Structure 1
């Protein structure tokens, strides 16, 4: 399975790095491939290290302006023309998508893949790993959008919320196996 992970490139404390590392190790232990933003910084580094340490493959998709932070030992590294092309390559190169804690870039990636899924432009499972309740506010907003009629698709058809790395990984294995 090729698992795209959207997440922060920032250096964060243990409450975010531990679950990211745990999820990454599940990817590697399963012999799966990480498809990610390609940076060798912050949570991106933590996840790539965990996958590599447990025997998984690394496929990075970056952009020229971030080349200096690209991981040098990735099995494959692609440099997209711009951020929009990067998102398209990340989605195209994955069987499933997982969103970990992140900032505006991560939020942008999440909303784009949800919008594309809403319109039937992909059917890949999307998992939101809600570490430490990080996405509680966003989930509340999305539920309001659903309740008030702004979403033509039920939230449960767009994404799955996992509270632990193990739950996220189990959902991926089941969802990808059904496709």
Structure 2
């Protein structure tokens, strides 16, 4: 399975790096391919290091403005012209999507993926990995949007929220292979 992971390129503390490390190891041990932003920094590096160490493949989709921090040992590295092209390529290469802790870029990627799914422009499973309650506020907002009628598709049809990587991967395996 090609698992696209949206996450931060920032260096973060252990409450984010340790779960990211575990999730990367799970991806690699299961023989899956990591499709990610291609950066060799921050959480992106942490997950890619673990996928690689556990025997998984790395497919990076970077962008021209960040090409200087792209990982050199990826099995495949694509350099997109801009961020919009990068998001489209990430989605095209993925069988499933997982959103880890991140900043505005990660939030932009996550909301675009959900918007595309809402309009049936893809049917890939999407998991929000809510490490250390990072996405509690976003999850509450999404549930309110659902409850108040702002989502024409039930939230549970758009997104699965998981507290840990093992649950996220089990959900993806069932959704893609089940």
- TM-score category (smaller protein): over 0.9
Residue 90 of structure 1 corresponds to 90
Residue 58 of structure 1 corresponds to 58
Q: Deviations over 1:109-166 (max 9, x none)?
A: 0000000000000000000000000000001111111111111010000010001111
Query: 3-state DSSP class of the match of 1:15?
Result: helix
**Alignment length, in residue pairs?**
178
4+ residue segments displaced more than 3 Å:
none
Query: 3-state DSSP class of the match of 2:35?
Result: strand
Q: Distance in 2 between matches of 1:172 and 1:24?
A: 14
Within a 5 Å distance, the mapping from 1:12-161 to structure 2 comes to 12-161=12-161
Q: Distance in 2 between matches of 1:81 and 1:68?
A: 14
RMSD of equivalent CA atoms = 0.5
Query: 3-state DSSP class of the match of 1:77?
Result: strand
Q: Distance in 2 between matches of 1:58 and 1:128?
A: 21
Query: 3-state DSSP class of the match of 2:40?
Result: coil
Which blocks of at least 5 consecutive residues in structure 1 are unaligned? none
- Per-residue deviation, 1:46: 0.1
Q: Deviations over 1:66-99 (max 9, x none)?
A: 0110000000000011000000000000100000
Q: Distance in 2 between matches of 1:145 and 1:169?
A: 26
